[in-house]
Structure 1
Amino acid sequence: MKIIRYLSSFSLSQKRVNNPNIYPYNVFSNKSEKVFLFQPITLLYGNNASGKSTVLNIIANKLQIEGSEFATNNKYGITRYFSDFIQECDYELGEDEAGKQLEQIPLGSRYIKSEDILYEIKKIQQEQILRDGYVYEHVRRGMAKEQIHSLKASEKMYEQIEYLKFAQEKYSNGETTLQMLDDYIGTDALYLLDEPEVSLSPANQVLLAENINKMARFLGNQFIISTHSPFMLGTLNAKIYNLDSSEMETAKWTELENVRYFYDFFVKHRDEFEKYK
């Protein structure tokens, strides 16, 4: 068992701008606390527009992690507000197993967004998109144009497309999501996951959370995850930040509004469940 925190802390920009609509300053303008202290698994909880996905993208950009997305500039003048915000953020790396300060985030680290997963599923569902995605992946890896032309007409590409089409028929969206996450996540790295429970049933959300617990405990991975799923929140062995609060305070999963909503709903319908005992 090896428990490592590659990223120890992250501080969002403390700067205030005059225009209340400037992104991403406007997302955190009402937050009095802007520092995160991370554990092997840390959860960012919040309702829609709470900023949890924005925080992950900011961290990914600051650390230059694969999967980061650069936000377009605001329409207010020519100032590169997103770039400025990223530069104004600060972070501290963790320590290795010997207690030595780390010098960089592991190279295999990755930011995986819910839309990435949905796009991968869409590629499997549409053959042309699947073919384009297969070619794009080789272009991304640096394959020359001449090689790409040969690839498009190759038996290898045909076989790979047929394999993925078979996977589409064999697995549901939820099963495909679990398989993709399993393929994406390796060992000894930092992973930022944006609502990975998308398209998963409650049972598969719990299964995913249990797998993440194991990957953090035994594979040397650190996870920072945005979610509002009560099944993920209740299963993961994690520190939880409530981004709905102005102090972005830590909380128990049973205290969170979304979880309490589920609880109250089922309590309200308790009699309907009891009669089936």
Structure 2
Amino acid sequence: MVYLKQIKLINPEEVSGPVEDLKYPYRAAAVRYMDKLVFTKPVTFLVGENGIGKSTLLEAVMYKYEMRDEEAQGMLNDGDESHKVLANVLPDQIRLVEVRKPDDHFFFRAESFFDHAREIDARSMRDILKYGRDYSLGRYGGRRLLEQSHGESFLNTFLNYGERNMLYILDEPESALSPQRLLSLLVRIKELVDQGCQLIISTHSPILMAYPGADIYNIDEDGARLTPFEETEHYQLTKYFLTHTEQMLRELGID
């Protein structure tokens, strides 16, 4: 199922002219080439080097959804993340082109998850004190997030948070997961797709990018291009390293 079809810049002139003359966040490639990001598959990966603007773009998209549903605001409004949102002017400059509205949405950003977990655990304690039972942790597996390891809390969130017909925006979900747990996340992605969900995922993980039938947008200073899995730098570099480990270590001066 596809809900979000495209992200469009309201004023394209913001990204015209020499890159060095553009203001933040328009100089980031993921923002300059957002007009080329057309979502036609249930799963889309955004890949590219650090600093290319993937997180800035995904944050702006989810900000639009959370402002539309103010009673169900999520990770963007927890802890220090709320201050980062204020610095991102992009939400006011983009328009979301939807095929249909999802029943719900979920935004995940690896670097912000600790603040989010702390807020969810605190909300659970408030529920218990006020109502005598927890109403918050069920969507996260029923266990306090801060009592789990970083990777466990990540995976339990992915495995339990969700229902049918949702839009998921995931920013580097692989960061705390072992290779085995990444395989579990692949299975979960398939379950969510089967439940009518759409997932847009920023990642550096070749394991996740291997999801069958997904679109992979490789974003760099020259544009945003649909790229076959085996042609991504992530796949090629990882494969080369694993098959030529000693040679590559020598080339790096680590022998």
Task: Please report the TM-score for the alignment, with normalisation by the length of structure 1.
Answer: 0.67
**Cα displacement (A) at 1:32:** 5.3
Structure 2 SS opposite 1:59 = helix
Matches for 1:107-256 after TM superposition, within 5 Å: 107-119=103-115, 123=118, 132=122, 134-135=124-125, 151=130, 164=143, 168=147, 172-216=149-193, 218-235=194-211, 237-256=213-232
- Tell me the amino acid that sits aligned with residue 8 of structure 2: S
C-alpha distance in structure 1 between counterparts of 2:53 and 2:145, whole Å: 38
**Cα displacement (A) at 1:56:** 0.7
**Cα displacement (A) at 1:107:** 4.2
Root mean square deviation of aligned Cα: 3.4
Structure 2 SS opposite 1:11 = strand
Change (3 A) 1:249 1:130: closer
**Cα displacement (A) at 1:167:** 8.8
Unaligned ranges ≥5, structure 2: 68-72, 77-81, 248-255
C-alpha distance in structure 1 between counterparts of 2:56 and 2:85, whole Å: 10
Unaligned ranges ≥5, structure 1: 74-81, 95-101, 124-128, 139-147, 272-277
C-alpha distance in structure 2 between counterparts of 1:118 and 1:71, whole Å: 17
Larger relative contact order, structure 1 or 2 (CA cutoff 8 Å, min sep 6): 1
Higher helix share: 2
* Contact 2:204-2:234 at 8 Å conserved across structures: yes
**Cα displacement (A) at 1:6:** 0.9
Worse-matched range after superposition: 36-45 or 53-62: 53-62
* Contact 2:7-2:34 at 8 Å conserved across structures: no
C-alpha distance in structure 2 between counterparts of 1:91 and 1:30, whole Å: 14
**Cα displacement (A) at 1:132:** 3.7
Picking from 31, 34, 52, the partner of 2:54 is 52
* Contact 1:213-1:236 at 8 Å conserved across structures: no
Structure 2 SS opposite 1:197 = helix
- Tell me the amino acid that sits aligned with residue 92 of structure 1: V
- Tell me the amino acid that sits aligned with residue 207 of structure 2: F
* Contact 1:47-1:244 at 8 Å conserved across structures: yes
- Tell me the amino acid that sits aligned with residue 14 of structure 2: R
Larger Rg: 1
1:10 aligns with 2:11: no
* Contact 1:42-1:238 at 8 Å conserved across structures: yes
**Cα displacement (A) at 1:255:** 1.3
Structure 1 SS opposite 2:86 = coil
Change (3 A) 1:204 1:28: same
Higher strand share: 2
* Contact 1:31-1:246 at 8 Å conserved across structures: no
Counterpart of 1:99?
A: none
Structure 2 SS opposite 1:240 = strand
Task: Please report the TM-score for the alignment, with normalisation by the length of structure 2.
Answer: 0.73
Change (3 A) 1:236 1:244: farther
CA offset digits 1:82-137 (Å, max 9, x no partner): 44x4343233211xxxxxxx3xx22421212113434456x4xxxxx88645357x
Change (3 A) 1:172 1:251: same
Identity of aligned residues (%): 25
